[in-house]
A and B are shown apart, each in its own frame.
Chain A
């Protein structure tokens, strides 16, 4: 849903679909901006001695509002499971989630009074900022990557891309039958490699430095230079197939990388939200334990 929402941004108001970011003419953006502005002005006008901190009346107020907001923002995880329409639609809720989440940067930072240290309080603040930044990242990649995602697939679906690799593998298997043991072992390396192999970092970076298919292709090309005549035929065929597979793998890996870049933010946004709530709880308890 979110992806479609962003994609439709460029169609403007005339579009039948209104993204959650543009919801009701940026209603929540305006609310968030006004609240932030008011808070900054209040912060500058209020004279807290000896300096701004979380323990002044303004600090407590900002802290209470911020904590409440964090809990409410986290509730999107529950709310999103029920899609509804109208004033309290999920879209409205999501729009508010995004813009009030951004407002939390102002609320949280002013609450700290710009006093940071190696303690549970700054931990909670840092986690909050991580969550917000991961959210900003999520929104950004949803706006940018889906187009590239469809480009990278060359109008192919995921299963089609897999089938392409699979078909090439089968052809490789057949074509490699006449090969000598040493050569067939090289081809087997390409066949045995899991195209989905590698950890999350490899998926995100798209860096498959130890690609068996590439190694096999390189090796077979060298073999092609060495052999002549009838021996060269199967190897030539293998090289062509490996080249095709390299292209298929590249397309597949590009797609996997975009998927990973698109999905990775949730692995920060959601777990860090939980950690943030835990740290927030520890922060609040500690403040009043040692009041």
Chain B
């Protein structure tokens, strides 16, 4: 079996294991889902009656998604350390497979979160998405970047105390360029602009996902081994 194929199979197995454990405990799903629902409810009561521009609405959507992600995406590594299962995983799995598997798991969590929150946001804010295709594309590319960066930051903070605070503090500056482009892309989609108009934002989102993903794959083996 080739090395790359084995790593992908190992990554798939890690993602599958995490999903199975998550659907049995529902810890991360509950954390990010309830946080997002609560925030969405607060936002809809606060600004629901107002007529808001597309740029403000897209910013609100991504703020909700970002903080919901911060509430649960570190769980994938933190739980391994707290449950003392990380050494077994370190011994059994190639480091790159661990990063890819955990990143895939976080991506699935984000997609599940958005499947819940985005339709509710649209309904509660009385939105009409002018360009649904572009809207979905921005969400998917944003998720890819968000999952890639939060996964490696989660691996870094998992061995530290005060993990929750560190996770958000370290993630925010890294995710700021992504958030700005996501908000810009979503604004264009809500305003009904063509996909070509948002090409610059889409290009940055693709480049961000590729650059952070590549850097993470290269850095992860050093992070994953205990000092």
- Do A and B interact? no
Chain A interface (Cβ < 8 Å from any Cβ of B)? none
Chain B interface (Cβ < 8 Å from any Cβ of A)? none
